Structure 1
Amino acid sequence: MSLSKVTLTLREKLDFLPAVASILLAAFYALLTGLWRTERQAKTLFLHLGYALFRKATTRLNTSQLQYILPPSHKVYEIHSKKTGGLLDSVDLGNGALGHWIGDPNADHVIVWFHGGGFSLPANMGYFKFYTQLIRDLRASGKSVAIFSLTYTLAPIATYPTQLRQAVSCLAHILATPRSPSTVFLGGDSAGGNLVCGVLSHLAHPHPEIDPLAVKGNLGGAVLIAPWTLLDTEFPGVHYHGGDIITTAVAAPWASAYVGSRKRDYYTDLSHAPAEWFSSFPVDSVLITAGGNEIMLPIIEDFAGRFKQGFERVELVIGFRECHVAPVYNLELGDSVKTEQGMAIEKFFAGLMN
């Protein structure tokens, strides 16, 4: 196992001081202006402030700086397990990837989850809170389920198709336990949703640089929270209105860090795929969710429509006044109120787990 550490130049380290000052200034401004919010902004002043902090931090700091100050995904998993009393159970998947069990590995159903963050940010504590909440609530409805969360190599430490290869290996590990595909589900948000799309594409149309993975039957289902399926850096007609945690400013650095010198294709940009590309996806049903206030909403709606043209069993749920990946990032900010997207995800999984 090799998890590379990020190093910074002296200039990048010295830049933290003015960066923190600008982030605090943005927070102060958000606190003042947040007293007069509209429906195009966060539901609460607390979330409004949190979104502003996240927006400013991700636009002001570069990818290396963010990776330098944020704990890696596997460390966050360890911290969460110690806080909750959960057992540490990580699997070395090879090629620099790790898989982490949340819940009982012997559960009847497994959700393989790929976290988001533009391929450049690690999983934060909100993810593990989301996993725990989902397992708890599904258990309350009589479902036996565990989550297997992938720690993949962040970009630009590694570039496409490394992360997709690691995601395929993650699913292969679960299917080899062995498990019936009908008891295995995929889930991912933002860039993680991109990986879910890439894995489904690989199962139906093997990537030329990744070993094929034969699945005997359909996977139980797949959830895509605000999938990032169009790695464009300019978005005509997309307007920022203050209700999201991201801006279009992160698209260029994060997309270029992931793709590197490679050409984009249907595995990186499923929004460009023809309808027939989706028709042979080996999965029973797909749920796509989005926030009503997120800047990617038009792109997600267009993607969902394209998906439905080739694969009928697709549902789109839009959470009123919710941001990008609200089920996770609201929890990361400390707001435990269930989102519409989160409730739809829970209902979707519960309906498919027999």
Structure 2
Amino acid sequence: MSSITDPNPGFGRSTLTQKIYAASVMLYVLPKTILSVIITRAFKKHNVSFKDHFLRSMIREVLLGFPRQILRAPGEAQVEKVLASPRFSAVRKNIVEPVKTSAFSGYWICQGSISTKREPQSADVTILFAHGGGYVIGHVAQWITFMLYIAEVIESKGLNVSILALDYSLAPEAPFPTQMDQAHAAYSYLLDLGIAADKIALIGDSAGGSLMMSLLASLAIPLPPSTTTLPKPLGVYLLSAWLSFQHTSPTFSTNAGIDVLDKRFLDNCANDLRAASSHSRTTIDTYTEFVHPVPGRLPLSEILPHTVWISAGADEVFRADIEAFAKLATQTDADVTLDVGVGKAHDWVFGDVVAKEADFLKATGDLGDDFAPGAKVLAVAIVDAVKKRKTSSPRL
């Protein structure tokens, strides 16, 4: 089994004490959340079902109420569950291989193909992926099923794919620009392998989307002491991306009670990322603020690659910021797509895969169009970008 451990302080296997603490907190959170949802729905009409309203509220309460050392759940069991599943047990030696350099850590989720391990640079497209979690929680292991599903869809369209998942350090132990520097190092690593920039697709959800945008900014505007610019990738694919730390847009009010996130959690996360940084607020904003103006920052036209694909949930607090960013992006030469999921909350494209993960792992064939359609649309968008590049590139 490929070992996945987190180098971040506080990460490890849950102790009995932690489990007891989590259970006791849950005994308090569960009735509190049920009562809160009932009262809220009694006084305000919602288009969200009671079940979804309750589940989203529970996630929100857990994010706010549970200590980080518990939320930073170990990934070993999740990896083994995927590798031992009927779907992937026969190819387990081909997937989830650790990568560690002096500048970054990560995992090859697949190299060239799920079924046959190849040189990563032989793939038609290589994905660099960054996970969400507000920069303070989350681990690659939790996104493995999602990434493998994306790879399967891409392969079903006749392309070979490699996926490198970045295992970046978490705040507040690792403040800005640690995560951006690690993403930059991972991108440079892919280029050094001989993978052309126009064969690399960046994917990030939530804080991972923020990180991928920070990476793009750093490619165009190197953070001193670096002075080296790097070529833009094929495209960036942003899933419910965290594009501004201001948290002042209208949907932070209108969607506050029906999303899985809220302003308090996000303010805490942003503060954790910035608090111990040696850089000024303006410098940090240069690499993290993509909705509101930042003095001295290059325009989005200098930062964005040719393809920009963005998703949002209609019910999420980030929606207005994401829509504002998409509007700014359409004013550049980029090919911009915005997919807003009706009735969906934050990070729904990833969440839909998680919701049906058990069915996916125990099956050995195609689960049909009803399985995680948002993730399938994302994968197809990457395929379309690759095919357009092949058609337009004179060297292919």
Structure 1's unaligned 5+ residue stretches are none
What is the aligned partner in structure 2 of residue 66 from structure 1? 71
What is the aligned partner in structure 2 of residue 222 from structure 1? 236
Indicate conservation of the 8 Å contact 1:40/1:243, yes or no: no
Q: CA deviation at 1:324?
A: 0.8
What is the aligned partner in structure 2 of residue 289 from structure 1? 311
Indicate conservation of the 8 Å contact 2:97/2:109, yes or no: yes
After superposition, the C-alpha distances for 1:56-84 in whole angstroms (9 at most, x for unaligned) are 110112434422xx115x77446533443
Q: CA deviation at 1:139?
A: 1.4
In 1, distance between residues paired with 2:54 and 2:351?
Answer: 13
What is the aligned partner in structure 2 of residue 108 from structure 1? 124
In 2, distance between residues paired with 1:330 and 1:265?
Answer: 32
Q: CA deviation at 1:311?
A: 4.2
Q: What amino acid maps onto 2:28 in structure 1?
A: S
In 2, distance between residues paired with 1:235 and 1:281?
Answer: 23
**TM-score scaled by structure 2?**
0.76
The verdict on how the C-alpha distance between 1:273 and 1:203 changes in structure 2, with shifts beyond 3 A counting, is farther
Indicate conservation of the 8 Å contact 2:108/2:162, yes or no: no
Q: Please, which of 265, 274, 281 is the counterpart of residue 285 of structure 2?
A: 265
After superposition, the C-alpha distances for 1:287-318 in whole angstroms (9 at most, x for unaligned) are 11101111110111112222223444222111
Structure 2's unaligned 5+ residue stretches are 114-119, 361-369, 388-396
User: SS state of the match for residue 265, structure 1?
Assistant: helix
The yes-or-no answer on 1:80 pairing with 2:86 is: no
The yes-or-no answer on 1:243 pairing with 2:258 is: yes
Q: What amino acid maps onto 1:266 in structure 2?
A: T
Which deviates more from structure 2 when the two are superposed, residues 202-211 or residues 32-41? 32-41
In 2, distance between residues paired with 1:309 and 1:130?
Answer: 31
What is the aligned partner in structure 2 of residue 353 from structure 1? 386
Q: Please, which of 48, 60, 81 is the counterpart of residue 41 of structure 1?
A: 48
Indicate conservation of the 8 Å contact 2:106/2:164, yes or no: no
The yes-or-no answer on 1:3 pairing with 2:7 is: yes
What is the aligned partner in structure 2 of residue 330 from structure 1? 352
Moved beyond 6 Å, runs of 4+:
30-39
The yes-or-no answer on 1:92 pairing with 2:100 is: yes
The yes-or-no answer on 1:22 pairing with 2:28 is: yes
User: SS state of the match for residue 113, structure 1?
Assistant: strand
**TM-score scaled by structure 1?**
0.84
Q: What amino acid maps onto 1:169 in structure 2?
A: A
Q: Please, which of 231, 256, 265 is the counterpart of residue 245 of structure 2?
A: 231
Aligned residues: 344
User: SS state of the match for residue 94, structure 1?
Assistant: coil
In 1, distance between residues paired with 2:174 and 2:236?
Answer: 26
In 1, distance between residues paired with 2:267 and 2:228?
Answer: 31
In 2, distance between residues paired with 1:23 and 1:102?
Answer: 39
User: SS state of the match for residue 4, structure 1?
Assistant: coil
In 1, distance between residues paired with 2:25 and 2:226?
Answer: 40
After superposition, the C-alpha distances for 1:189-240 in whole angstroms (9 at most, x for unaligned) are 111111111111111111224563522xx42211011111111255566223
What is the aligned partner in structure 2 of residue 185 from structure 1? 201
Q: CA deviation at 1:52?
A: 2.9
In 2, distance between residues paired with 1:320 and 1:332?
Answer: 18
The verdict on how the C-alpha distance between 1:161 and 1:149 changes in structure 2, with shifts beyond 3 A counting, is same
Indicate conservation of the 8 Å contact 1:126/1:331, yes or no: no
Structure exhibiting the larger radius of gyration computed from Cα positions: 2
Q: CA RMSD in A?
A: 3.3
In 2, distance between residues paired with 1:140 and 1:7?
Answer: 36
